[in-house]
Amino acid sequence: MADIHDLQIGAPGPFLPPFESAIKNAKVIDSLGYDSMAFPDHFAGFIPESIWTPDITPLAFIQQSPHTYYELTSIMTACAMVTERTKLISAVTEPIRRHPVLLAQSFLTLDHVSNGRAILGIGAGEIENVEPYGMDYSNQVGKLREALEIIRIIWETQEPFDYDGRHWKLKNAVMSLRPAIQDRPPPIWIAAHGPKMLKIAAEFGDGWIPTLIPPKAFGEKLREINAHRERMDRIGSFTAALWNWCILDNDPAECERMMTTPLAKAFALLYPATEWQRLGFEHPFGTDFYSLRDYVPMRYERDVVLKAIEEVPAEVLREFYMCGDADTIISMLERYQREGLQHIILWNSTGMFDLEKTRDSYGVMKEVLAYVKG
């Protein structure tokens, strides 16, 4: 039977200015005993700037825009330099903005800087970070598959090679940087949800890092990956990870209040229409809405978003957020672990919904971390 004390826990890596605070936060995460820092790779954020106003979120007073992110590999490198033990995960990048050879080189470089602590978290990408910037988001799953083939070739050979794919054609390509630790390139964790992506995770992944999946569905998808791995005769370790959003407070009524704030509801619009339908509701953006494929927040007017926010039901919010005090969160973690979870990134989003609750929420996180770490 799984032991809760074997579960690894990560936190979001710092990705916002000012730089001095980002470095300070990285040191704190490392010193508190978190197992990892997970860094988003975004040009644009998930919230339309049309609602980034003080009446919707107090963050509008201190952050001018919801689309503020440090460049992924630069901030990962900076944080690697000031930490000693915490793993550094891209959560997640993709091979549309970043050429596969560049990804292979970047993460080998991070591997050296961090002395083997870097993990390449990768997926098929989000349209909001691709299409507005003049790049083609179509065939994104096929692009990912080819990119993973190229990265594996690079990490396995120093010799020039050719690659004749649909999306990339390489001739006499070479990149002879080797891993920091002999024959041990960075692990690849794949963000996968649908059937095609789960199969790619089984074929190429050393781990799986989805988001926003209830425990039962997490277990079902993990069993699907493991069945693929068995058929492919893939042996070796495989890490089942997860990235989830949290609202934390010792008072359940306060958690409920923060969960129903306009900004909390705006984030819950990211939950796919299929999940709304499963819960008995229709997504305000349509019955086939899938945020990774369809959502470009910069194109949504304020009145449209505010109307959609009003339609977010409590049932969706309760699945979208892990919400409660330390005991409640620990109980949720045990449910996930029974389904095979080994590593979770807990994004404490409490302060986005009530700045005054930030300190208390991190007190809850410390309780959770102390319990799991035994």
d(C-alpha 28, C-alpha 349), whole Å: 18
- Crossing angle for the helix pair 326-338 and 358-373, nearest 10 degrees? 50
pLDDT band at 182 (very low <50, low <70, confident <90, very high): confident
d(C-alpha 151, C-alpha 176), whole Å: 12
pLDDT band at 2 (very low <50, low <70, confident <90, very high): confident
- Crossing angle for the helix pair 195-204 and 140-156, nearest 10 degrees? 0
For the chain, domain boundaries: 4-247+331-347
What radius of gyration do the chain's Cα atoms show?
Answer: 20
- H or E stretch including 19? helix 19-32
Q: Could you give the 3-state DSSP secondary structure of residue 43?
A: coil
pLDDT score recorded for residue 183? 84
Tokens of 232: 């492919």
Low-confidence winner among 15-29, 55-69, 96-110, 157-171 (lowest mean pLDDT): 55-69
The answer to whether the CB of 128 falls within 8 A of the CB of 67 is no
pLDDT band at 1 (very low <50, low <70, confident <90, very high): low
pTM of the predicted protein model: 0.97
Q: Could you give the 3-state DSSP secondary structure of residue 241?
A: strand
The answer to whether the CB of 147 falls within 8 A of the CB of 95 is yes
Place of tokens 């302060």: 351
Domain 4-247+331-347 top-level CATH class: alpha beta
The answer to whether the CB of 254 falls within 8 A of the CB of 270 is no
Q: What angle do CA 279, 303, 293 make, to 5 degrees?
A: 50
For 268, half-sphere exposure in the C-beta direction (CA atoms, 13 angstrom radius) is 31
Residue among 83, 14, 2 at smallest CA distance from 343: 2
Average pLDDT over residues 12-25: 97
Strands 169-173 and 161-164: antiparallel
